Amino acid sequence: MARDIALHHRCLRATLKEFHGYEIATEGDSFKCAFHTPEDAIQWAISVQMDLLCAPWSEQIEDGGWGAFGDTSKWGDPSKLADLSRQGDRRVARRPSHLLRMAAECGGKKRKKVLFNVASAADSIYSKNFCAQMPYATVFHASSGSTLPVFRGLRVRIGIHTGTADVVGTHENTKRVTYGGQVMATAKAISDVPAGGQIVASAETIAAIGSMHTLEQQVRELLCGWSTTGREEEQQPAAVSIVHMGSHLLSRVAAPEPMKPRSIAVAMRDSQNDTSVRDGISDRAWATVEERLSQGSVSEGVVPSALEKAQDLVSIVPFALRSRSVCFPPLDTVQQLTPGFWAAPAREGVTIVFTLVENWTQLKLHAQTNTSFRHVLDATREQLNLLVRAALLPTRGYEVEGEDGCFVLAFHSAEEAVGFAVLLQQTLRLADCWIPELLAMPGCEPLRDDEGQLVAVGPRIKVGMCTADAQVAQPSMRTGRAEYFGWLMNHAARVAAT
């Protein structure tokens, strides 16, 4: 085992210099590393996974320890690929088009030097037996003509986070530079999330990437000569994919309560008893709202608070190892709050919803000329985002994108979309979280009917929706979130704008 641990360390250190990485410290078999850019960190992570695949592991550890451990529930299970290959999996059916497009050959580009003898790794008894039994779970190396299992040897999980360190110092004993603060705490929490052989990064890391196209070209060069086997070999795919895995709670540590969280949750519950609203929608749509609320998806103060401290996570999938993504179990977090790409509505019969804030442009113009109103607008934006996202949870909605108080959302059915719209409007009407200065602005003032009943207060949100088949549903290369294309997108936006 000591020899295998030494091999593990060699794999992690071999390309650190190439990708401008810095080894901060080791703790047992774990490494803490720092990189100048997220692109360098991602390339290093992919390089490490490929080197681990080819290392000369001892016979006892070549299966990663699968046979030695009783509980493999948190392991990537390649047997899941058998059902996929026989039946056709939704993930395969919805494989992103940008993963299948024709791309430039690596041609004369310099290939990454292979750290170990690939042919020797492919010639082991374990590799031969695995590839014979599960040919759909293999990786092909063109230069050596070798086929390897998609999992081989020690399985290393890698977590990546990007931010600014609050503390930079020097370790008293090792004299190595150290980093501290929230960025390190978050990086540590994310590193505990993946399964062995998986790369998971924060949304902050993906947002800090300067050019996804450049990164894709860099990874293509890095993996030149590697490919999957058995499917679609006539096409040169994109080299890497970013797949949204949803928003997760990484820690049970309490966070500061957001502004008036109780009023939000109470407003959601009170919407169940509003007969004037119930009269306006079908029983089926209303049943959707009641069912979700009765399941306890929304509880006082919990949902808004949880959403504020949730972390968006993405999986980084090099195409040569794409089969692994089907094998992995759910991410090992405290709780998943919002769905990821694989749970997003399929393109068939999807309902797209646009939400637009009325008079939002006028509010922003007022903030530009009135500096004291800027903090009011910032707080309003945060609260609107919180309200929309909280209303998504009990109605199975998926956030496609959100910017500046406006959202594009997707739902599995029109009934759930209507349920979301009702829940959101009632939450807006009953919430008492708005700053007084905002309520003095046109379009935000309290509005009452002839009988004195409160009809609206605070910002008004217009909701438009359309149900149809999207032409394409795929993860965005920029964010990894599901994105939809087709005429229904324009139609839903026009409905919301009316």
Give me the mean pLDDT over the 193-207 stretch.
95
Every domain of the chain and the residues it spans? 1-249+316-323, 339-497
Residue 357 has pLDDT above 90, yes or no: yes
Give me the mean pLDDT over the 478-487 stretch.
94
414 — pLDDT class (breaks 50, 70, 90): very high
pLDDT single digits (tens) 416-472: 999 999 999 988 888 788 899 999 998 889 888 888 888 888 899 999 999 999 999
Say what the pLDDT of residue 132 is. 92
Say what the pLDDT of residue 65 is. 75
Give me the mean pLDDT over the 66-79 stretch.
71
Say what the pLDDT of residue 437 is. 92
pLDDT single digits (tens) 229-284: 644 444 445 689 899 999 999 975 434 343 333 344 444 445 444 444 444 445 55
Residue keyed to tokens 């409905």: 495
Residue keyed to tokens 């774990």: 30
Read off the pTM. Answer: 0.82
Residue 181 has pLDDT above 70, yes or no: yes
75 — pLDDT class (breaks 50, 70, 90): confident
pLDDT single digits (tens) 212-232: 999 999 999 999 888 886 444
Token representation of residue 236 = 């040169």
DSSP code per residue over 89-141 = -HHHHT--GGGTS-----TTSPPPPPSS-HHHHHTSHHHHHHHHH-TTSEEEE
Say what the pLDDT of residue 64 is. 83
Say what the pLDDT of residue 29 is. 84
Which letter does DSSP use for residue 230 in this model?
S
**Alpha-carbon gap, residue 250 to 193, rounded angstroms:** 8
339-497 folds as: Alpha-Beta Plaits (3.30.70)
**Alpha-carbon gap, residue 75 to 96, rounded angstroms:** 25
Say what the pLDDT of residue 282 is. 52
Residue 476 phi, psi dihedral angles, 5° rounding: -65, 135
**Alpha-carbon gap, residue 333 to 319, rounded angstroms:** 25
**Alpha-carbon gap, residue 483 to 474, rounded angstroms:** 6
Q: Do 1-249+316-323 and 339-497 have matching folds?
A: yes
1-249+316-323 folds as: Alpha-Beta Plaits (3.30.70)
Q: Partners of 462 in the beta sheet? A: 356
Amino acid type, 392 = L
pLDDT single digits (tens) 121-167: 999 999 999 999 988 889 999 888 999 999 999 999 999 999 999 99
Contact 397, 414 (CB under 8 A): no
b/e for 434-471, b at 16 or more Cβ within 10 A?
bbebbeebeebeeeeeeeeeeebbbbbbebbbbbbebe
Say what the pLDDT of residue 377 is. 92
